[in-house]
Structure 1
């Protein structure tokens, strides 16, 4: 019986670790705000995201050479 309980506890720990790794490492929304200075090579897009809770606007910039996106908070 201890083996079965230990197995499910271990499975739970592994699932929690995978969720945390997925959120902090693989989910790009975690570090979405990149700052206030837009680097060279980024072009302004028409995308604006508005946070429904705070009302903050985030403008999206795009680098066509690398495919990278830059998110800048606006006041």
Structure 2
């Protein structure tokens, strides 16, 4: 009986860790809005994402030197 209870507790812990990893590591949507001021060196692109739930538009900026992307919510 102790083995069965221990098995379910271990499975619950593994499931919880997988959910946390999926949210913070693999799903980058939680930190997509980087701010309101675009840093120097970033160029505006034609890429605009629209959130299907809220309808907010997010414009993508690109730094050609570093390859980094910057996301800014449009009004």
- What TM-score do the two structures reach when normalised by structure 1? 0.83
2:11 and 2:53 map into 1 onto residues whose CA distance is 36
Gaps of 5+ in 1: none
- RMSD, matched Cα: 1.5
Paired residues for 1:31-70 under 5 Å: 31-70=31-70
- How much has 1:65 moved relative to structure 2? 2.1
Gaps of 5+ in 2: none
1:32 and 1:44 map into 2 onto residues whose CA distance is 16
- Which residue of the partner structure matches residue 10 of structure 1? 10
For this pair of structures, how many residues does the alignment match? 75
**Greater helix share, 1 or 2?**
2
